[in-house]
Amino acid sequence: MEDSRTVSGTADLSEGLKREDETLEPLLTNKGHILQKRQGYRFSLDAVVLADFVARRQGIARAAKPTTYLDLGTGCGVILILLAKWGAGLKGYGVEIQEELADLASRNLRLHALDERFEIVCADLKELPSRLPRASFDWITSNPPYRRLDTGRINPDPQKAVARHELAASLEDVCRVMAFLLRDKGRAFLVYPAGRFAGLVTHLREVGLEPKTVRPVYPKPGEKASWVLVEAVCNAGEELSVEQPLYVEDARGEYTEEMHRIFRWER
């Protein structure tokens, strides 16, 4: 299902797309390349494990039927690209409030020949209910800012600050917009700090998104969970499944076999 240009050829295709303040880096293992900022926001492991969680839950490698998909706070577009490249039926939008990152995500779509199926919209996600029809998406993903404004030092880099702190949108805003835009029984997928899991569940249920599947992510055995991966369904009944944990590293500090599978993007 991969375009022949998107594996060995993305480095060549970057001519005319890459800016001086950017790098062209491998996207996982033998899956082409992605443009990132040298300084400022750069995607991290949580985005990759969220994409894998969605693909596993939805059997995306086999998903051929048309599916409307939205990525909120898309950054450089990494989650959208990972899912879209292997889900031929996916089409939709990535939304990013920061102009520089929205432009970067658009160029990454072109780099992977996905710009005919997806569009990057530079907008405040809180404005989406006035710009997009209610109940218009089957799936929505989000890796929302983890920190409230009243917690922790705000990063002096503006791109990192918006990505990490609730400067532009709160968790409540993200959940409310997801609920407005999802179809009945549509699915929301999020990655969020394990320590704020209770608040995430509260906000999801307040807007009619019922958490159905949770997977905790641990740095290594014996340590506390770092994140939770959550799948919530619009207007669903109360029933929650907690999956086996994902361990990033083993006791020796080496990536686990499951993480290597994710890096190889084996579906």
Report the DSSP beta bridge partners of residue 25. Answer: 34
What CA–CA distances, in Å, run from 18 to 85, 142, 151, 162?
A: 20, 26, 35, 23
pLDDT value for 7: 40
- pTM beyond cutoff 0.85: yes
CATH topology of domain 44-264: Rossmann fold (3.40.50)
> Tokens 């994902």 identify what position?
246
Count CA atoms closer than 13 A to 50's CA, side-chain side: 28
Tens of each residue's pLDDT in the chain, 267 residues: 333 334 444 555 676 899 988 999 999 987 789 999 988 888 999 999 999 999 999 987 565 678 999 999 999 999 999 998 878 899 999 999 999 999 999 999 999 999 999 999 999 999 999 999 999 999 999 999 865 545 555 444 444 434 453 445 799 999 999 999 999 999 999 999 999 999 999 999 999 999 999 999 999 999 999 999 999 999 999 999 999 999 999 999 999 999 999 999 887
pLDDT value for 11: 54
In contact, 160 and 145? CB cutoff 8 Å? no
pLDDT value for 3: 39
- DSSP helix, strand, coil percent of the chain (3-state; round to 5): 35, 25, 40
DSSP 8-state code for residue 165 = B
pLDDT value for 61: 59
pLDDT value for 210: 98
